[in-house]
Structure 1
Amino acid sequence: MRIIVIGAKGDIGQAVCAELGARHELVMAGRSSGDLRVDIADRSSVEAMYANAGAVDAVVCTAGDVHFSPLADFTSEDFMSTLREKVMGQVNLVLAGLERLPDGGSFTLTSGILDREPIRTGASAATANGALGGFVKAAAIEMSRGLRVNVVSPGLLDVSAPKYGSWFPGHDPVSSRRVGLAYDKSVEGAATGQVIIVD
């Protein structure tokens, strides 16, 4: 398969590429790195990415900025920026890709553990993660031509723990290998409308 991976340079993106890159052709995309440039929060940028990518069989997104702040300090715009970047950015990839992917193609999005296991300062991330889970469940029942959509919801990755572990007290990091396999399950498997949890 030929697969676009958005956010390939991040910790989750690298786990995805390590797992899928051995068997598939990967087209890496990102805001500032990769084969293609894309700002997923901008629908026209997403459309341009698809046009420049050519034929692809699957799309994997591990990108989406999130704002962290104590709840009392959050503004409406802080929440909206997270929703634009992490939720609508990934929704844009699906909406713009519906007519681009071939029969049986798939979209794999990324949420995270914080809607299940919240942390202080993580209210907007938890909100975004829950929204993505709802989106894939609803979108899957309307997709035609055998198209599929899932969202992977990983815990804190082992490789991310040195940098972010103090934000996640009591969390047991998950292996990058297991996270990569979850994306493999979504891309190469048959599931659709699923939240694939790795914790």
Structure 2
Amino acid sequence: MRILLVGATGTLGRSVRDVLGERGHEIVTASRGGSDVSVDITDTESIRAMYGKVGEVDAVASAAGGVPWLPFGELSHQDVLDGVVGKVISQVELVRRGTAHVTGSFTLITGVLARDPVRTGTVASLANGAVEAFVRAAAIELPQRVNAVSPTVFTESVGAYGDLFAGFEPVPVRRAANAYVRSIEGHQTGQVYEIG
């Protein structure tokens, strides 16, 4: 399959690229820099241009989306907007603008905070929950399949985020990458694959 991988340069994106490449797929990478195609997923025009350059693909795998990590009392209106745009609207637009270019499936990224929140993660919980609700709803209407991968903290990221996830069992990033294989090569739609 020809797969567009968005967010290809991060910890998860690199692992997804490795796993899909090992399975013989042709991977077209996209990110802000260092990829086959440059894209800013918070900019709908950039998403449109990316699809114009890439053309038709069998699947889109999204491993991108940022949110602010701040105590609730310190969150500004702009912080909330940035998180919703950075992780929710950006991925909704990947699907919305991609329907004319994608023949098979979309796989989006959420996370454990949709179901198990932590301090300073309010916007992450909001965004993850919204993406998961979107996946379930969009699956009813889209001709393409759409799923989400929802991992806990990665073993490889414990040094950066471990204190926020006290008591959570970390998982190797490759476990999450394998869920992308399940989503892309499988037949289910409207699923949220919880990892860890």
Matched to 2:10, the amino acid is G
Q: State the alpha-carbon separation in 2 of the partners of residues 58 and 73 from structure 1.
A: 39
User: Partner residue of 1:192?
Assistant: 189
**Structure 2: 5+ residue runs without aligned partners?**
none
Aligned-pair identity (%): 46
Matched to 2:110, the amino acid is S
User: Partner residue of 1:143?
Assistant: 142
Greater share of helix residues, 1 or 2? 2
User: Partner residue of 2:128?
Assistant: 129
Q: State the alpha-carbon separation in 2 of the partners of residues 58 and 177 from structure 1.
A: 19
Q: Deviations over 1:155-189 (max 9, x none)?
A: 10111112211221111101222111111000000
**Structure 1: 5+ residue runs without aligned partners?**
none
Q: State the alpha-carbon separation in 2 of the partners of residues 111 and 137 from structure 1.
A: 13
Deviation at 1:13, TM superposition (A): 0.8
Q: State the alpha-carbon separation in 1 of the partners of residues 81 and 97 from structure 2.
A: 21
User: Partner residue of 2:2?
Assistant: 2
Name which of structure 1's ranges 84-93 and 17-26 shifts more when overlaid on structure 2: 17-26
Q: Deviations over 1:18-69 (max 9, x none)?
A: 2111120101100122110111111111010001012211000111111110
User: Partner residue of 2:65?
Assistant: 64
The count of residues paired between Structure 1 and Structure 2 equals 195
Q: Deviations over 1:100-132 (max 9, x none)?
A: 112xx1000000011212111000000000000
**C-alpha RMSD of matched pairs (Å):** 0.9
User: Partner residue of 2:12?
Assistant: 12
TM-score (norm 1): 0.95
SS at match of 2:155: coil
Deviating above 6 A after TM superposition, structure 1's stretches of 4 or more consecutive aligned residues are none
Alignment of 1:110-129 (within 5 A): 110-129=109-128
Deviation at 1:76, TM superposition (A): 1.2
Deviation at 1:141, TM superposition (A): 0.5
Match of 1:169 among 163, 166, 187: 166
TM-score (norm 2): 0.97
Q: State the alpha-carbon separation in 2 of the partners of residues 171 and 101 from structure 1.
A: 36
Matched to 2:4, the amino acid is I
SS at match of 1:83: helix
Matched to 1:150, the amino acid is N
Matched to 2:194, the amino acid is I
